[in-house]
Each structure stands twice: as C-alpha cells, then as structure tokens.
Chains A and B, each alone.
Chain A
Amino acid sequence: MDKIQKKLFKSLPADALSSVAAIIVGLFAGFVILLLSNPSQAPGGFWAILSGGFSDMKSLGQVLYFATPIIMTGLSVGFCSKTGLFNIGASGQFIVGGYMAILVGVKCAFLPGALHWIAALLAAVAAGALWGAVPGLLKAYCNVNEVIACIMMNYIGMYFVNYIVTLTVFDSTQNRSQTPAASAIIPKMGMDLVFRDGNNISSANSGFFLAALAAIVIYIILEKTVFGYELKACGFNTDAARYAGINERRGVVYSMLIAGALSGLGGALLYLAGSGNGITVVDTLAAEGFNGIPVALLGLNNPIGIIFAGLFISYLTVGGFNMQLFNFAPQVIEIIISIIIYFSAFALLLKGIIQNIAKRGGGKK
C-alpha cells in the first residue's frame, strides 16, 4: 500500500492530485444531497450525471460546447489571480463581448466570408478588454479596490447591454437579440459531423479549439515570457516588483485588460456558436462569468488545468440534463451541480494536506 502510494504521488503532480481529490469530495456531497431529496431515484440520477456526458457522441459534443465559454471566463479569472488580482468582473466583460459580437454579426453582413466572424470576435475582444481595463485603471491610478470596481462594471455592463440591445439588434417577438448572419457563425470545422447522434447534431464547433488555443497562449505568456515574469512578480510580491523597477501600475492595467479580453471572447464564442442562443433582456448577470471562478479554482489557475476544469464542469451540466429522466426538477439538478462544483472548489483546501503527504513520501526515497 505504502509503495503504491509513493508511486502515485511521484508520477502525479501533487497539484493535479488535489484537484482530483476535491472533485471526489464534491461528487460525494452531491450524492448525499440527491439521497436526501429523492432516495429511491438517487443512484440512478447520480449515475446519469456521471455518465451522461459520455452517453453518445452528441452529448460529448455538448460537453465541448458548454465548456467553451466557461473555459474562457475561467482563464480570465485564473490569469488575474496569477498576477495578484481578483477578477470578479468576468460577467460584465462576458456580456459586453457577447453583445459586440452579435452587433457585428447582425449589422456587418457586408463583410466577406471568414472576415465576418473574425471581425465579430475581434470586436468582442476589444469590448471585453475595455470593460476589464476600467477597474484596472481605477486600481492602478486611483487605488480603488478591483473587486468593487468589477462588481460595478458587472451591473453597468448588464443594464447597458439590455438597453442597447433593445435599441440596435432587438427581436421583440422573443424579447432578445436577433440572430447573427450565417457568415458570422464560427465555423464547425467538421465538429458537427463527428459529434452527432444520427440526425441529432450537437452544437460543438471550432470555438472550443479557440478556447484551448487561448489557454495555451496564456500559459506561454505566463510561463515563458518576460511580460509574464513581470506580471507574476507583481502578483507574488508587489514590493519586490517595485524594488526591481517593474511598473506595477502598468502591470495591473494590462492584466485586467487581458482578463477582460478573454471574457469578452468567451461571450462571442457562446453567442456566435450558431446554437440559436441570444442575449435575453432580463435583469440577471451572466452566469458564465461567475462560473469562471470555480473553473479557475479547480484548475488551480493553471491555464491547462482550466481547460480540464471547464470540461469537467460542463460534463456535469450535460449529465444533469439526463437526470430529468429520473424525475428530478431542473432546479434540483442545478442545485446538485452547483453543490458539486462549489464543494470541489472548497475542498481544494485539501491541497496543503495532500502536499504534506507527498512531501513525506518523497522525502524518504
């Protein structure tokens, strides 16, 4: 037993292990809640969550589809955490990004071919970056806490988008934004051929590849570049960064700006997925933004980890749909999934304990 333990700990980095342990704890907590709410159906329902994402190719495609936006907001939150900032404003950045994408998608149909969707994505990136830069500037030059500024920007973003949607791209019959032109939709790149169940086609598209690409780029920026070295130094120890002549104010602005761009792109990837999704004019903040927080936590702020964390949470979401077969109300399903996600995130407190065990095991040799 001891030997197996040691082997395991050596081959798997302690970090990844702590995430896995956290997820197991989260799943267990979810199962307990299921048992409490409906004991007879609990095992079946739980199995549905666990296996739903893998039940057929279509479900698997849905997993990729749902994962895409939350990977983006997860990256946004995780990137900021690495640089010592808490970006709780992903929701606002996400929605303004989404709006700009729809606006360009609806209004700029004159753009030829691929240029159209690319322009829509870039517009979303710019809008998100702007929304992120505002709290960054406020923090750097007016010493306003970024959490407060971000929350403000979330509400401003939501109400502003609600308002301007009705003015520009409103479809009054459905009380939501119009559908973007076909040329603005992100290419499928064959994903619709692979991820389908007979005629039942999933919403998977090449947006997932873009999200994965973004994660890799962020990873490279953080780990391999001078820019990342400076940003992380600010995050770990601002005083030392200042001593070394790093302009920490510029660092704060840039990292919020990049975080905003990531969330904004996330918004575009959702609303240009061609799944018929639009911005509904309701007074709620975009949930994708807040889901970025547990995704970043579970991924331990590591961009590559965030891809897997996003996939995992999306997998639960897709599995959750299958629970309806077991007579669970959609609200209960949402509660269960949230419980699993948040318990997992909290269970990351386990990280320290796991590392201690690994240290002891590794120390003996």
Chain B
Amino acid sequence: MEYVIEMCNITKEFPGIIANDDVTLRLKKGEIHALLGENGAGKSTLMSVLFGLYKPEKGLIRKNGEAVQIHGPNDATRLGIGMVHQHFKLVHNFTVLENIVLGVETTKYGFLKMDDARKQVVELSQKYGLEVNPDALISDISVGMQQRVEILKMLYRENEILIFDEPTAVLTPQEIDELMKIMKGLVAEGKSILFITHKLNEIKAVADRCTVLRKGRCIGTVDVAGTSLEELSEMMVGRKVSLFVEKPESRPGKVILSVEGLNVRGKSAGKNLLSEISFDVREGEIVCLAGIDGNGQSELVYALTGMLPVDSGKVSLLGRDISRDSIRGRSRGGISHIPEDRHRHGLVLDYNLAYNLILQSYFNPEFNKGGFLKYDDICSYADSLIERFDIRSGQGAKTVARSMSGGNQQKAIIAREIDRAPKLLIAVQPTRGLDVGAIEYIHRQLIEERGKGKGILLVSLELDEVMDISDRILVMYEGKIAAELDPKKTTYQELGMYMAGSGKEKSA
C-alpha cells in the first residue's frame, strides 16, 4: 500500500449542515497534500476528524492499509498524527520547552527530566531549521515563532503525518517562505503533510497533489504540477475568478482623517511604539499601511480607534479633534474598524451571528426601542447581510459564532463594519483566511466604498494586496512612517527595502 492515510467516504454532519459529505482523501507517504476549498467547505472539519476531535457519522480511516479507530487526540498521537490548528493551542505563560513536552513529559521519581527533553528539542530544531529559544515565554514570542513551537511539538511526539490548518494565514511573507522550506525539509525526511491554505501560489510552490472540497463534497484530487492556478480556483469556486482587481482612477477629495505628530511611549522606557506619526486619509482613496508585522501598525490602529491612549499628538476626523473621544464616540463619529484579531476583538464567540452583526449598532433605534432589543428586526437585518456577503453557516442568523468556520467569521466582521457606512474604514488584514472568491468580493467592496467617497485605511502584510488595492502606500518601520510610495511607480523590491528599514528617507 502506498498510502499512509486513507480517509474513505467520510460524512460529518452538524445541526443544519453537512460539513463533510462522502469525502475521500488519500495521503501518500512523503508527499505534501494540499486541501483547498471555499470558506466553510469543510476542510478544518475533515482534518479534525482525522485528528480525532470529531466522530464522523459515516466513513472509515485507514493507516498503512489497516482500518483504525481514532477517538481523540491521544489516539491520533499514538498513530503518529499531529496537527497545527488554525488558532494555536499553546500555554502562554509556559516556556517554549515546557509547551513542547507538555503532555508527554518524561519523569524520574516523579520529577521532570527536562535535560533530555531540552537536548532532543535543540537537536530537532537544528535538524529542521526551526530556530527557537527554548526558554522564552510563549507570550513574548512572535506568531511565527509560536508556529515553530507547534511544529516542534509534533516532531517531538515523533509524528509522521503532519496536519497544517491554514498555517500561513497569520505569517508574514518572509515567515511563509521559511515555513515552505521547513515543510519541504520535513517531507524529505519521510514525513507526510496535509496542508490547508487559501493561497494558490503556496500550493503551487510546495504541494504535490491537491484535493478540492466544495460545500462539503469532494470535487477531486489533482496533480499540482499539471494544473494551472486558474483551473484550481475554478474547481474550488465553481466559476472563473479574476485574481486581478480592476479599479477606476481614484479622485481624492477633502481630508477625512488627519493625524499629526502622534506619539505613544512603550511600557519600557526607551523606544517609542509610535513616534511622530503624521499623515492624512482623504475621501475616495485607499491608503495602505505596509510593513513587517510588529512595526507599530497595530498600535497605530488602536490609537486611532481609541483603544490605546496616546502620549501626544492629534487625531482629527473631518476637521474635528477626536483625540480625547471614547471608542464609542469615535465609532459613532464615523470610524469603523475591522480588527486584526477576530477572536479577541472582532466577535463575541458565544453570541449568535445576528447578535454579532449588531455589535457596533445595537444601540441604534433600528435595533432597539425603549431599551428593548427588537429581535425580529435584528434577525432580518442579519439575514440581509448574510445574503449580501455570502456568510455561510449551519443555522443562519441563529448560528453561534463559535461554530462557524474561520473564514465565515471573518466575513461576518467585514459585513458588519462595511455596512455601517462609516466615513473612515480602518481594515486590518481584512482578507486574512478568506478564499479567493471571497477576497475578490471584499476587494470589490472596498473599491466600491472608495467610489462612494469613503476614506479607507488598509493595513496589510500581503504585498500583492498592498500593490493591487491601494492608492498610496505608507511604509512603517520601527514605529515611524519610513516612506510614502505610489503603488504605480514603485516595485516590490523597493517596497521590500523600505519595509526592511533600508530605504532612503521619505521619497515621492
């Protein structure tokens, strides 16, 4: 038998939806097998079945030709199956080393034997090029590093079959390149990888074969080498997707947002988180904040929306100073905000979809009367957004947000923030975790809003998005605006150089 894992005719149902409908997937030893599909197609569900988190209604799993029962993650680990989840599962106040050995600690007379573990972890990290500091606390390291810890966790458990659920969604382009290399190194060592991503170029770059899911059904498995990007996206969405966005010339009008000399000091003395930030966003333009993650973009957005107090400087919206306004004051004044972290800020996961869609407008007279929520109106409003933005879930407006797929959670936030018809839309990584069809739709929406005379401040780590969508690019480096670029006149190389901090001072 050449297949290490065979998932045959898997069917998994949730209330109101068949997440996996008779899906068959076969993983060869030593291959990188991509899993592609729209948001809510059932990719995470299928992988969770393999990892023992869900019990399928029908179907059979075989390992090396033998049928196996996987009742939980412990069974999966015993069978050599490991998984890096869409949202990581690390203990934040533990060190890297402690997280890696957690659950499989070796002990002697009841005491932890960390020395052996440390040696092993260091060896593994050298062998696969996964540099980490074993003694760093998880809360202190970057998302990219956290992912390495997750990978080391799988390797430490000597897993042979590695599942990566959208590993690249949270990474910077540099980190993605590194991850691709690491994955290739892993299969060269004889491991087999299942890889979920929405980015077709990543599939092209590393995957050998690709299985496509659509609405829970398996559309087919293809050899990546013999399939074009267009064919892949058509298989996934069922129609042709234009990967390039058309947009009319922008006609900037009057200034909407004006930032003057903004400073935010860090917790530790020394470097400022933000120093002397000044820029404008005008009507009818998309301004993009580009930069490598962690150069002050998040802090700038928090400062603009009122979630982080500033030490000095002025923020004005349509000529009015809002520096002292509350978060609510600013949002009612016309700022809407698609946050970076959808689980932390964007959603109340235990509320249903309808309640999440009114999170920024429940206090408006449309949705309440005399302090009482108008539930029927809320639901019909939710239904209209669900329809317009194609938010897919098991039970429509009444679905608990927690049970929705990652991409559909994101679509819900975008729908809410765009529909509030703000004057200024601050969108942080709005297309993170979305499928190509949805990205196309969201990009069109952003350009449409721009056409309506809104100002848009886009924060993105994706160079393609930065170059395609924006009218102006502000590059941030170490809490300062390092350069202002015109996407039509600049190159990826130039942009990259400024992002790395080695460009000439303000150009253009």
A-side residues, CB < 8 A to B, are 224-227, 229-230, 232-233, 236-237, 239-247, 359-360, 362-364
Contact = CB atoms under 8 A, between A and B. Distances in A.
A245 B15 contact: no
A237 B348 contact: yes
A219 to B, nearest CB: 13
A226 B372 contact: yes
A241 B348 contact: yes
B57 A236 contact: no
B448 interface: no
Interface string B327-338: 111011000010
A144 B359 CA distance: 28
The 3 nearest A-B residue pairs measured at CB: A245-B328, A243-B345, A245-B327
B489 interface: no
A118 B4 CA distance: 76
Given A233-B351, A240-B344, A243-B307, A363 B14 contact: yes
Contacts of B372: 224-226
B346 A240 contact: yes
Given A245-B326, A363-B13, A227 B371 contact: yes
Contacts, number: 72
Contact of B350 (A225, A236, A243, A245): A236
B444 interface: no
A242 B330 CA distance: 13
Most chain B CB within 10 A, of A237, A240, A247, is at: A240
A224 B348 CA distance: 17
A364 B362 contact: no
B360 interface: yes
A364 B373 contact: no
Interface of B: 13-15, 55, 57, 307, 326-329, 331-332, 337, 339, 344-351, 355, 359-360, 362-363, 368, 371-373, 375
B345 A240 contact: yes
Contacts of A363: 13-15, 57
Contacts of A240: 344-348, 359
Given A226-B362, A226-B368, A363-B15, A239 B350 contact: no
A242 B327 contact: yes
Contacts of A244: 327-328, 331, 359-360
A233 B359 contact: yes
Contacts of A362: 15
A360 B15 CA distance: 9
Contacts of A360: 55
Contacts of A245: 326-329, 331-332, 360
A244 B375 CA distance: 19
Contacts of A229: 355, 362, 373
Contact of B327 (A232, A233, A243): A243
Given A239-B345, A245-B327, 8 more contacts: A226-B372, A229-B373, A233-B351, A236-B349, A244-B360, A245-B326, A363-B14, A363-B15
A235 to B, nearest CB: 9
A245 B292 CA distance: 29
Nearest to B361: A244
A227 B373 CA distance: 9
A132 B327 CA distance: 28
A232 B355 CA distance: 11
B326 to A, nearest CB: 7
Contacts of A246: 328
Nearest to A221: B371
A236 B401 CA distance: 12
Contacts of B355: 229
A244 B337 CA distance: 10
Contacts of A242: 307, 327, 345
Contacts of B339: 243
16 contacts: A224-B372, A224-B375, A225-B373, A226-B368, A232-B351, A236-B351, A237-B348, A239-B345, A242-B327, A243-B345, A245-B326, A245-B327, A245-B332, A247-B328, A363-B13, A363-B15
